[in-house]
Structure 1
Amino acid sequence: MGKRALVFWGGWEGHTPEKSSAVVRAMLEGNGFDVAVRQGTGCLAESDPSGFDLIVPVVTMSSIEKEELGALLAAVRSGVGLAGFHGTMGDSFRNEPEYQFMVGGQWVSHPGNIIDYRVNVTRANDPIMSGIADFDYRSEQYYMHVDPSNEVLATTTFSAEHLDFIEGVTMPVVWKKSYGKGRVFYSSLGHVADEFAVGEMRMIFERGALWAAR
């Protein structure tokens, strides 16, 4: 039996959640997953998410019911993998600190909005980053509050161009961590679905999702 993944989407339309979910679905199906795609968070309470091998939230600036969040947290603690990108996992539920604790970070700003910046690979020997060199990227450069226990795989450094008081700040872009028995992977790249056309961004997320899956 192949692996099973749940992708649920919603929230702010600016992050193209439905289109991004379709990209993720095709990617995972290409890797042999049976993928269920659902709109909204209700699916987390309607059926037991612990039966999946991987969960990918594609939700921004939304809310989640206590029962739904509890089911998601319990599933990951039990060993279900969690993988996501940009605000669709790093800014999903601003009122839920336990969700943010599981993810390992929370978006707080993107100075300058869509800009050109550099992504620096910090763990070139990690299989997720293997063969990927530092690269230029055009998107929102995410400033995040992050868990110091994250295993950081790539970073970016802020200039003074858009905010002088953050000049020289080095910020995690890609990380992995554990939450209970579950593996958690996050990349801040991927503002809209079209960014999956960038080879490095796509490869990093695909490898990270496969790593996270039970």
Structure 2
Amino acid sequence: MKQALIFWGGWEGHTPERSAAVVSQMLAANDFTVTVEAGTSVLASADLARFDLIVPMVTMSTIEKPELSALTAAVAAGTGLAGFHGTMGDSFRNETEYQFMVGGQWVSHPGNIIDYRVNITRPDDPIVAGIGDFAYRSEQYYMHVDPAIEVLATTTFNGDHLDFIDGAVMPVFWKKRYGKGRVFYSALGHTADEFAVPEMRTVFERGALWAAR
């Protein structure tokens, strides 16, 4: 069986513990043995090379240098990384190497919880195949992103909340490489409740399985 590690913590508004439980059950249903740990200390104390997939679930927190070094080294060596929303896209604001590995960093969500549309840009990719464009209600993430990411879906901002970003097109789902490791990110998933949305859940599950070694 494949091995997965989920580590959770940080801001409670993103329901990290509940989200960790949802993702743990999802991976277990796909024949993973899942280890779930609170905090980041597991990154320095465990042998990360034995994990096929790591799922961060931490928002607006800090990480010790040895922990970050162990995480980036594991992914660079081939361990997969997958995550969503602020629990991977806004984990450690001071750590640029982490952001480089992820492929982006959250910076704003104008209007907070709003209705917007997700547009699939790579319908030929197995992660989003058969999904099609869909309406969504959540925070619409405005992010600073790596130009080297492979974008699978986007969203377009209007001027309702900030007129100077009217028409800005922003990635929602992407995948990339970091060394030998595969990385998948979804900007959806403000709370664990959003896993009830079929498109959000399906794409994240497929993305996580793609990322796994």
Smaller-chain TM-score bracket: over 0.9
Specify the SS of the correspondent of 1:107: strand
For residues 163-206 of structure 1, give each alpha carbon's deviation from its aligned partner in whole angstroms, at most 9, with x where no partner exists.
00000000000000000000000000000000000000000000
For residues 77-111 of structure 1, give each alpha carbon's deviation from its aligned partner in whole angstroms, at most 9, with x where no partner exists.
00000000000000000000000000000000000
For structure 1, the 5+ residue unaligned runs are none
For residues 106-149 of structure 1, give each alpha carbon's deviation from its aligned partner in whole angstroms, at most 9, with x where no partner exists.
00000000000000000000000010010000000000000000
**Structure 1 residue ranges (4+ consecutive) displaced by more than 4 angstroms after TM superposition:** none
Q: Aligned residue for 1:213?
A: 212
Quick one: percent identity of the two aligned structures?
76
Q: Aligned residue for 2:195?
A: 196
State the 1:51 CA deviation: 1.1
Partner Cα distance (1:201, 1:46) in 2: 32
Say yes or no: does 1:113 pair with 2:112: yes
- Number of residue pairs aligned between Structure 1 and Structure 2: 213
Q: Aligned residue for 2:37?
A: 38
Where do 1:71-82 residues align within 5 Å? 71-82=70-81
Specify the SS of the correspondent of 2:135: strand
For structure 2, the 5+ residue unaligned runs are none
Partner Cα distance (2:71, 2:168) in 1: 33
Partner Cα distance (1:90, 1:168) in 2: 22
Over aligned residues, Cα RMSD in angstroms?
Answer: 0.3
Where do 1:52-201 residues align within 5 Å? 52-201=51-200
State the 1:54 CA deviation: 0.1
Specify the SS of the correspondent of 1:119: strand
Partner Cα distance (2:46, 2:126) in 1: 33
Q: How high is the TM-score relative to the length of structure 1?
A: 0.99
